[in-house]
Chain A
């Protein structure tokens, strides 16, 4: 009887180990490919710019910048000021106050001397009604403030689309700052290819960075360790992976912090979904589905040089809130568009990108928790090779760390940022901590993301804000 049970457990462990070896091979290979492709693309881009393979003349595609804001009185005026200083000629700024409980609207009205105006709105996508509209005409570009009834971020973005005048719109977060040349850079793929319907910008943590007129004056790694680890994580997981997906039109996410969209196509597919928490990912997946099912030739691009500086959480609680939200958004987007999975009509995005997000993003926290439980069980029945397990874990940590560092240093060197020696050492030490500790914390957070889902599903995700270091 005992022997039979032991045999069953052995068979189980055998199956589990084969699964995990395959799972980790898949993940490591993806990570390796992403970092190699990402780094080489960054170096090639540097070479391209060095040899003036750029559009030297000032070509402008008119764009509307939409800034959805909710309780952003602390940062919104600074954000708008930084937008007004951008090196671009034809654009407008639309701030949509989604029924804030603080003085977001009044702060803007006072800061920019805005005047009330009765403006008819062409409702092309659904959104809550407006309460008032203010405008400022004495600025470099038109600035509009729309205060509307609370409806969530997607609803605010839809209002922005309705109010916007130009054929392309950009969505940015109210606590983000665009680099001075970011509009030129994010528009570049549109000039290169008429079929581009969306372009994702490159999001970089601004904690520790000193910005002056949209330019980096001083680059330091954040003094806060949690923020510092996120800098490394952003480079490995987001920058490198998105460059890889871009190679085969497989991007499934354009961050809500900075993305450009063709308004006509977004309206045709119904605008932002107001019932999801991850409206940014949902829109991109919907664009894939809409364009492919209507036989439209389309491209969704990623612009590495279009840089948006954003604050990353400095408190563990804020980080967990943010990751929980991201995970729920991921779940909603993937389940709503599950018809895309392994469907040849949608091309590589349905096989490669969807599979990656399913296995290594959506299911990974559960798989990782299952792995930990299996290790505990193996301890209990004394079926674990502890030295081998430790060796395997060290190799995994070193591998992940080296890839993080490669992505990080590639970015630093290719955009001519200078970091101090102590920051270099800090990056080396913290990448190990990020792979061995932070990763498991975020995995646990994501595994428990569904707690309180019904209650929080349409709320704005808030983290503690600080004023960005602008001059």
Chain B
């Protein structure tokens, strides 16, 4: 190949890049214009149906047929979403009454499933969740499609599908969804799962029972998610969690989650175990002592104070830090803490002093006039 050919090749590349730039500008602008036009048309059509609902009439069959035909295309679904979003702001009650009327359309769309790629399916799941199409009425054909989406590689697809499933408020489907996610080798952050479960639209206690019944079938990471859901969801499972905490063969992460639970929901029978975790920290992973030292803030007793004072001399920073924070939580006087404050252990003194100063600064801040 001679140099001239190379130069021509690069000139061709330059030309194609300029064409690419111009085409992109054109396509993006025409997209926006078309979307605006289409959503205005949709809005007018929906407003007409809202008027029908207001006068006690059902939504026109012709309108439903129109939606069935149009919404299989993602662009139209997007225009519909924008139109409905505007109406939800201006006429929330009427638009809210319109949505249940068009649920069968979404069953049809799920059955047809003509969205060509996962990105579009993710959008479909988003719309289902946003307008609470299946809230309190898990429509099987939609639910099955959402469960299928949990196998997709895209996190957004899985997350939107999960959110839609939670919105249905059906414990059985949530259980199936978590099983699917658990069996899937793809990473799904525990925080997304726990926070997602907390948005569940049905009975939280019933969901906790359903998940607990299948607890042993799940992997360790999913069990921790369930335990965190129980903790943050305010579900009473003290007996069961106490058994898990006492069982030394349980996985460490599961026991850590149980310790945190008993930090939030004090339990007399868990107390000796928590004390033991702090006192005999050398025999286990340091996390036991650190998390238990934090949990003991909910158990103000003389024995707790003694154990936490000893923990201030731990070789581990986190144990010392959490013990100091728990002691400060008890709001003890300087005299009650004098054995630490006047001791030779500088680390213990400093960390406790820091927590006390922090508390003092917080109190001063609260006392300040707004």
Contacts and interface: CB of A to CB of B under 8 A. Distances in A.
B357 A51 contact: no
B246 interface: no
Given A32-B13, A392-B7, A117 B361 contact: yes
B11 interface: yes
Contacts of B163: 56-57
Interface residues of A, number: 47
Given A395-B11, A406-B21, A120 B362 contact: no
Given A51-B123, A53-B156, A398-B14, A120 B191 contact: no
Nearest to B157: A53
Nearest to A414: B28
Nearest to A47: B119
B14 A399 contact: yes
A408 to B, nearest CB: 9
A413 B119 contact: no
B interface residue count range (under 10 / 10 to 19 / 20 to 34 / 35 or more) = 35 or more
A56 B157 CA distance: 12
A55 B7 contact: no
Interface in A1-59: 21, 25, 28, 32, 35, 39, 43, 46-48, 50-57, 59
A51 B11 contact: no
A61 B192 CA distance: 10
B354 A409 contact: no
A120 B347 contact: yes
Given A403-B17, A409-B21, A55 B192 contact: yes
B340 to A, nearest CB: 14
A390 interface: no
Interface in B20-69: 20-21, 24-25, 28
B358 to A, nearest CB: 7
Contacts of A56: 126, 160, 163
Interface in A37-94: 39, 43, 46-48, 50-57, 59, 61
Given A53-B123, A120-B347, A409-B25, A399 B78 contact: no
A58 B3 CA distance: 56
A51 to B, nearest CB: 4
A55 B189 CA distance: 12
Interface string B113-136: 000000110110010000000000
A413 B78 contact: no
A406 B229 CA distance: 48
B317 interface: yes
Nearest to A52: B126
Interface in A109-125: 115, 117-120, 122
Interface in B147-170: 154-157, 159-160, 163
A51 B17 contact: no
B354 A135 contact: no
Contact of A413 (B28, B199, B347, B368): B28
B353 interface: yes
A51 B74 contact: yes
Contact of B354 (A54, A57, A117, A138): A117
Given A48-B119, A61-B191, A395 B196 contact: no
B192 A118 contact: no
Contacts of A192: 155, 187, 189
A32 B11 CA distance: 12
B195 A52 contact: no
A46 B123 CA distance: 14
A123 to B, nearest CB: 10
A48 B14 CA distance: 28
Contact of B10 (A119, A135, A395): A395
Nearest to A194: B187
A59 B195 CA distance: 8
Given A56-B126, A118-B350, A118-B353, A137 B365 contact: yes
A158 interface: no
A43 B317 CA distance: 47
Contacts of B122: 51-53
B38 to A, nearest CB: 14
A25 B159 CA distance: 44
Interface string A167-201: 00000000000000000000000111111000000
Interface string B253-279: 000000000000000000000000000
Contact of B191 (A46, A191, A391, A413): A191
B335 interface: no
A410 interface: yes
A406 B156 contact: no
A463 interface: no
B25 A413 contact: yes
Given A118-B354, A122-B317, A399-B14, 16 more contacts: A28-B10, A59-B192, A117-B361, A118-B353, A118-B357, A120-B351, A137-B361, A190-B189, A191-B192, A392-B7, A395-B10, A399-B10, A402-B17, A403-B17, A405-B17, A409-B25
Nearest 4 Cβ contacts at the A-B interface:
A53-B156, A51-B123, A52-B126, A120-B350
21 contacts: A21-B3, A28-B10, A35-B17, A48-B119, A50-B78, A53-B157, A53-B160, A57-B163, A57-B196, A57-B199, A59-B191, A59-B195, A61-B191, A117-B358, A118-B353, A120-B347, A135-B358, A138-B368, A395-B11, A399-B14, A402-B17
